Structure 1
Amino acid sequence: MSSPKLDVRHIQDMSKASALEPHWGYYDRALPCTSDPGSCEYLDQVYRSHDLGMLYSGILWCAIGTILLLWVVLNQFNVPTISPTLAAPELAGLYKVRRSVASFARKYLLPDAARLVFGRTTRLQVLTLALLAGYLLIFSFVGILYNTWVTPVSDMPGVYNTRNSIGPWSDRIGTLAYALTPLSVLLSSRESFLSLITGLPYQSFNFLHRWLGYIIFVQSSLHTITWCVVELRMYQPQPTVGLEWVTQTYIVWGIVAMILLLLLVVLSTPWGIRLTGYETFRKLHYILAMVYIGACWAHWKQLKCFMWPSLIFWFLDRGARLVRTALLHYHPEHSGTLGLGFKPADATITRFPDTEHGDVIRLDLHNNQDPWSIGQHYYLSFTKCSIWQSHPFTPFNVPTVSKGTVQHSYILRAKSGETKKVADLAATGTPTTPVILTGAYGESITSHLTPSTNIICVAGGTGITYVLPVLLDLARQQHSPDRKVELIWAVRHTANTEWVAAELDLLQKARKSLNLEIRIFATRDAGSKTPSENSDSENCNLEVPKIQEKDVQVSSSKSVSACCGCDKPTAVERLGGGSDDVNRHPDLPQLVGDFLAETVRGPTSVFASGPGGMISDLRDIVASCNSAGKVWKGQEKFDVRLICDDRLEW
């Protein structure tokens, strides 16, 4: 039974009702309607519009479920990524269709969309957002009878209420905002159910989570403003009606929810994150989001069917993180500093000083666990600094089990915050630090390392951690004579290659058998006009090749480090002009174009990690290299895929 104030608001006399008509997500309606004809007609539209809003919300979730189901089915029956010349005749046609469609999609949907508005986001992400926003825009208005009803106020002759369709419309967008809340929580989860279904890493959903939050904020703001206009202006007499309305409990909770939502949006902007710091923002976001969901429940408990899933998804995400971390560090043979067999891993610290851009730290540790998949990353918490913060890092070594443990190797640049504290520990002579791991997260990229696929790895600075395991894993595989492999690594200074010197030595030994070309560019080191006088014959006598420095002109032509029969040491091309304000970059369009021109057969996968500008450039480059028509004609070299560490796989 409704409260008396709510009865008045809905112009219903429950004492005269012979029956109550249930409406999901709304208060029961009293029948028959005993108010004036205009009020009864208005109530008809209110309840009809709400019922349609619930229907449209259900259709939205059914559509999402259907898309996920189709995704699973298509993944299960997907054609293996092999050359059509090797595929069975009945699969060759499907292979060509799939590859051609994928190439067509990359050409037009891979580049960044309007960067000024959406940031460094692909057109596919923006298209997905546009489809969702289009659905919401259409069904925020469909099914509402737009009319105005001027109705008398009982016991007050000459006083009239103005009722129109703005009320039902406001309820509609409020219902849709509630329906979107569970989706917003799903899109933000690190232990992502969507990742399990689609295979996409959880980072791929961050853009949609952020913009869905903006949509919910706009819907909620319009819902709040509209009802304020109705109750404080259109209903009479004022200010009596307005004061009675705003003091009701459900309205108070609605105002609280709106304030919390405003804080969530403001603090999640770049300005808000800089003001509070990322870790403070993240923790405030968790707390405010949960209180917001509780306030929404208190505001309109009839729609708790959308709040329950939101809370469940959130607690499952947090619980799964704790369980995953506990299992990763559970070693019964050790009591551990935290008890119950929980023992952090001890990481050896190697420090590479850099006063200009922040020291680089290499961490090497061993942990008793199952190996992760190449391409995945872990969250690291440094207990000597703070147990309340963790940061994502990608291991740059190949995961292998040795004597029951797996080695982890990480590179991180210590600019500020927790990473700066770790660098300070190393500067004081502390050789090790305890680390708590959570993971592994992200997608496995080993499926792209097929013998028929050419591989080009592009890294900027510490982004080498993402692409290096790819090359190290290829070095362990059976070699494919037609496959071409290349590494392009841009660093500030030649000395930066020391971060992964041992791993580069391993790749150096495998260059000939792997058909690997290594190109390293020092963007801040000044070049000279004459190449080094070191002869190839001297280099051939090196038993274990090392990275050596070689001054050359800035060139986008054939690398000076091309493979030769004697496993010639890798040269570093210096691109700088001799001053710190000059920072030239490799000519990626030319480098990628030259690579594709030299491929013999098969598609190409571009693995990339680095600054946002580099990733955006590579999206444009890869998109321009794709040609669905040529792929359909059998020219697989125009089937080029981009795989990044923090973006959708293309």
Structure 2
Amino acid sequence: MEMDDMGGMDMGGGGDFMTMPECYATDDAFLQSLALCIHQRCPNDPNEYNLKDWQIEKWWAMNVVGSAAVQPDPKESYAEALAKVTTLPTETLVAGDALNRTMLVSIEDYQPNWNANTIFEHIEILHERYGLVVFLSGVVIPVGFSLLRFLPFPGRWVTLFNAWIIDPPAIGRHHKVPILWGLTNMPTRGQALFIAYLTIVNLLLCATGYSSRQPNGWWLNDRDREILTYVTNRTGVLSFANIPLLILYAGRNNVLLWLTNWSHDTFMLLHRYVAGIATLQAIVHSLIYLYIYNVDGEHSSESKLPYWYWGAIATIGMSILLPMSILPLRRMLYEAFLLWHIAVSVLVVVGCYLHIYDRFGHQWGYEVWIYVAIAVWVFDRLLRVGRFVRAGLRYAKVTIIDDDYVRVDIEGVGGNGHAYLYFPTLTWRVWENHPFSVASTILNTSREASASKANVKPLMADVEKDGGISTAGVAFSSDDSSNGELDEHQPQPPKLAMTFLLRTRGGLTSSLRSQCRIPVLVEPGYGHPSDLSDYPTLICVAGGVGITTVLPLLRSHPGRTKLLWGMRTPSLAEAMETQLAGVEKQVFVGKRMNVRNELERELGASPVVGNDCAVAVVVSGPDGMADDVRNAVCEIARRKKGLKVKLVEDSFSW
């Protein structure tokens, strides 16, 4: 029997002869020599090891044969093997010689191998602990900070904290409007703080917690190589730990969306940053091992092994995903982006798993991180399927509003927030789906629709008196204190339905214009509206079809509401006339709304807003409008004494 080091990890590729586990489990010379070595070197000394017999037996059963998840048991216990050593041997094992009888192990051979095994085990434990720190803190911290909202802090303190620390863009005045030549978005200060935490903790955990023990049986008198190997293993483990976290952040059914008050937009931003961190760690892991094997002259043989090229595939795949996920590509080729993004991501996960399996089998548990990542992904996908299966196959009625917008009504299904719609007969890409905000869950009857049309003309006539809607653009206000002709009509019972307003930008939404009635699968129940009942005043700022996001809030809010709505053409106002009956509103048609002036009027000068009146401002609209509202609210909140205000942005993140 050829003796190899026991209890550690072979860091090389495995080109040398390796003793089989079955041989370790049954060979008398090995078992008796090992039992004698333990008896001599690991005494029951309270000042040193203080090992109990049961501890030795436990180690013996788990580690004598190796550390694989599936392996044979040793044919006898430690006590049984030791009892067979009736005569103390006089020969000492020489490294590399065959072990065919019971022999002693010299201190010169024992100590370096003891150092190598114990320090390696210590570092491996740190790898896994640090991986847990990365993953669990990425889950727990958002929940912990969200729980702070239940503490009774003074409202003005919360307003100032949000206005200075949480809501403003980290740098400059743009958050939704892309920066750096349109390549990315600037996070808010609150988002930037958590991104900074994730970056710093990953950097620190990659760079700390290393120690060396020499002489070392694996890296004899080579402390630098020893530490370098620990570093590359650490970066690999932390990269693995970040994979389930970034998949969790990207999920529609992310449990953190249910446990926190953080938006899906925030988690998508975190998804991209965590993906960048994991990719950099994978690159460092790969480059260091490439350097080690090149220096050792083993790269040509090692690179032909399956574990090597699967690891290379995973690293290259992650490296490709980053530049191919920049904002311009996501916006211009969204459907194609989703398809290849998922395909390459699956290849990366498979590559990571096979990289470990082909190298270590299930020996060290690195693959557990991949199992967690797969479980998170499968959980999200199963809930998606469950949502649209529960809703069943429905039919969507498509109504053209004007050249830019269409209305989609889907009877028999309800839900708030937004829903993902699949149109399986509209394209051969049956998996394509898009998120749309639910404007209403009650479908108007024919009588109500007729009454609505009767009311549109007088309203728009008033608009035209103010300057004409097709050229300079207009703004008009209404409190709609009465419903006019609606009170004279007896409506039919309302029907449960989802109503969507869609802007046709090309692709799938543009194809809808040629349809009248079309099969649809609905995945409802995402992004429930914020609970703003503690705010007596609600101000909603909407642009175009952003009205669909704020409409449920306007209709359900118990206090005073005000709508500031900008649109390019009056068709949307006509289409939403009935739904907005009774809402105090100011509508801007064909011109840019001066958001700052309007919010200054509502927040900065209105006598309604005072020390005892908290205000919620909700914005849903184009990127520029969202940034204007964000900056205006933060600046007014910092300046106006006593103002208590909450900013809510509801928008889709590419």
TM-score, normalised with respect to structure 2: 0.69
Cα deviation 1:405-446 (Å, max 9, x = unaligned): 4222222121211111112x1xxxx5333322111211322x
- More deviation, 141-150/597-606: 141-150
Q: Decide whether aligned partners of structure 1 residues 33 and 591 sit closer, same or farther in structure 2, where only a CA change above 3 A counts.
A: farther
Of 575, 593, 598, the residue aligned with 1:591 is 598
CA contact (8 A) 1:398 1:473 kept: no
Aligned residue for 1:472, secondary structure, equals: helix
Q: Decide whether aligned partners of structure 1 residues 461 and 391 sit closer, same or farther in structure 2, where only a CA change above 3 A counts.
A: same
Of 505, 516, 520, the residue aligned with 1:435 is 520
2:300 is the counterpart of 1:243: yes
CA contact (8 A) 1:12 1:34 kept: no
Q: Give the Cα–Cα distance (whole angstroms) in 2 for the partners of residues 149 and 490 of structure 1.
A: 74
Q: Give the Cα–Cα distance (whole angstroms) in 2 for the partners of residues 465 and 391 of structure 1.
A: 15
Cα deviation 1:28-75 (Å, max 9, x = unaligned): 8x9999769778756655443222121222233443454366468657
Q: Give the Cα–Cα distance (whole angstroms) in 1 for the partners of residues 607 and 389 of structure 2.
A: 47
Q: Decide whether aligned partners of structure 1 residues 312 and 326 sit closer, same or farther in structure 2, where only a CA change above 3 A counts.
A: same
2:236 is the counterpart of 1:165: no
Partner residue in 1 for 2:590: 522
2:627 is the counterpart of 1:616: yes
Q: Decide whether aligned partners of structure 1 residues 107 and 443 sit closer, same or farther in structure 2, where only a CA change above 3 A counts.
A: farther
Partner residue in 2 for 1:510: 582
Partner residue in 2 for 1:332: none
Give the fraction of aligned pairs with identical amino acids, expressed as a percent: 22
CA contact (8 A) 1:110 1:124 kept: yes
- More deviation, 213-222/609-618: 609-618
Report the aligned-residue RMSD: 3.9
Q: How much has 1:164 moved relative to structure 2?
A: 4.3
Larger Rg: 2
Q: How much has 1:629 moved relative to structure 2?
A: 9.8
Partner residue in 1 for 2:395: 345
2:432 is the counterpart of 1:389: yes
Q: Give the Cα–Cα distance (whole angstroms) in 2 for the partners of residues 517 and 590 of structure 1.
A: 15
CA contact (8 A) 2:115 2:216 kept: no
Q: How much has 1:168 moved relative to structure 2?
A: 0.8
Q: Give the Cα–Cα distance (whole angstroms) in 2 for the partners of residues 224 and 286 of structure 1.
A: 23
1:626-645 map, 5 Å: 626-627=637-638, 630=641, 635=642, 638-645=643-650
For 2:368, the aligned partner's letter is: C
2:409 is the counterpart of 1:364: yes
Q: How much has 1:95 moved relative to structure 2?
A: 5.0
Q: Give the Cα–Cα distance (whole angstroms) in 2 for the partners of residues 33 and 306 of structure 1.
A: 39
Cα deviation 1:293-327 (Å, max 9, x = unaligned): 22212212431111111111111111111111011
Q: Give the Cα–Cα distance (whole angstroms) in 2 for the partners of residues 466 and 130 of structure 1.
A: 31
- More deviation, 31-40/65-74: 31-40
2:342 is the counterpart of 1:286: yes
Partner residue in 2 for 1:491: 567
Q: Decide whether aligned partners of structure 1 residues 110 and 647 sit closer, same or farther in structure 2, where only a CA change above 3 A counts.
A: farther
Aligned residue for 2:336, secondary structure, equals: helix
Partner residue in 2 for 1:140: 206
For 2:600, the aligned partner's letter is: G
Q: Decide whether aligned partners of structure 1 residues 40 and 225 sit closer, same or farther in structure 2, where only a CA change above 3 A counts.
A: farther
1:38-53 map, 5 Å: 45-53=119-127
- More deviation, 142-151/202-211: 142-151
CA contact (8 A) 2:423 2:518 kept: yes
Partner residue in 2 for 1:469: 552
1:68-147 map, 5 Å: 70=144, 78=150, 94-96=152-154, 100-114=157-171, 116=179, 119-145=185-211
For 1:317, the aligned partner's letter is: D
Q: How much has 1:470 moved relative to structure 2?
A: 2.6
Aligned residue for 1:499, secondary structure, equals: helix
Of 503, 510, 517, the residue aligned with 1:420 is 510
Q: Give the Cα–Cα distance (whole angstroms) in 1 for the partners of residues 432 and 324 of structure 2.
A: 18
Of 317, 327, 344, the residue aligned with 2:380 is 317
CA contact (8 A) 1:52 1:143 kept: yes
Q: Give the Cα–Cα distance (whole angstroms) in 1 for the partners of residues 191 and 16 of structure 2.
A: 42
Q: Which runs of 5 or more residues in structure 1 are unaligned? A: 80-93, 330-342, 354-358, 524-584
Q: Give the Cα–Cα distance (whole angstroms) in 1 for the partners of residues 223 and 170 of structure 2.
A: 48
For 1:249, the aligned partner's letter is: P
For 1:378, the aligned partner's letter is: A
Q: Give the Cα–Cα distance (whole angstroms) in 1 for the partners of residues 108 and 310 of structure 2.
A: 31
Partner residue in 2 for 1:59: 133
Aligned residue for 1:626, secondary structure, equals: helix
For 1:380, the aligned partner's letter is: L
Aligned residue for 1:181, secondary structure, equals: helix
2:267 is the counterpart of 1:226: no
CA contact (8 A) 1:11 1:35 kept: no
CA contact (8 A) 2:401 2:572 kept: no
Partner residue in 2 for 1:306: 369
Cα deviation 1:60-97 (Å, max 9, x = unaligned): 3443454366468657xx36xxxxxxxxxxxxxx352x
Partner residue in 2 for 1:377: 418
Q: Decide whether aligned partners of structure 1 residues 67 and 11 sit closer, same or farther in structure 2, where only a CA change above 3 A counts.
A: farther
Aligned residue for 1:352, secondary structure, equals: coil
Cα deviation 1:574-607 (Å, max 9, x = unaligned): xxxxxxxxxxx32222210111121424111111
Q: How much has 1:274 moved relative to structure 2?
A: 6.4
1:142-221 map, 5 Å: 142-145=208-211, 163-221=225-283
Partner residue in 2 for 1:531: none
Partner residue in 1 for 2:542: 459
Q: How much has 1:249 moved relative to structure 2?
A: 2.6
Q: Give the Cα–Cα distance (whole angstroms) in 1 for the partners of residues 351 and 302 of structure 2.
A: 18
Q: Give the Cα–Cα distance (whole angstroms) in 1 for the partners of residues 614 and 107 of structure 2.
A: 70
Q: How much has 1:272 moved relative to structure 2?
A: 4.8
Q: Give the Cα–Cα distance (whole angstroms) in 1 for the partners of residues 331 and 153 of structure 2.
A: 48
Aligned residue for 1:143, secondary structure, equals: coil
CA contact (8 A) 2:276 2:322 kept: yes
Q: How much has 1:390 moved relative to structure 2?
A: 1.1
Q: Give the Cα–Cα distance (whole angstroms) in 2 for the partners of residues 309 and 152 of structure 1.
A: 32
2:367 is the counterpart of 1:296: no
TM-score, normalised with respect to structure 1: 0.69
Partner residue in 1 for 2:72: none
Q: Decide whether aligned partners of structure 1 residues 176 and 123 sit closer, same or farther in structure 2, where only a CA change above 3 A counts.
A: same
Q: Decide whether aligned partners of structure 1 residues 223 and 644 sit closer, same or farther in structure 2, where only a CA change above 3 A counts.
A: same
Q: How much has 1:351 moved relative to structure 2?
A: 3.9
Partner residue in 2 for 1:340: none
CA contact (8 A) 2:119 2:213 kept: no
Q: Decide whether aligned partners of structure 1 residues 378 and 133 sit closer, same or farther in structure 2, where only a CA change above 3 A counts.
A: same
Cα deviation 1:499-535 (Å, max 9, x = unaligned): 241533564x525xxxx24232422xxxxxxxxxxxx
Partner residue in 2 for 1:406: 496
When the two structures are aligned, how many residues end up with a matched partner? 508
Cα deviation 1:543-599 (Å, max 9, x = unaligned): xxxxxxxxxxxxxxxxxxxxxxxxxxxxxxxxxxxxxxxxxx322222101111214
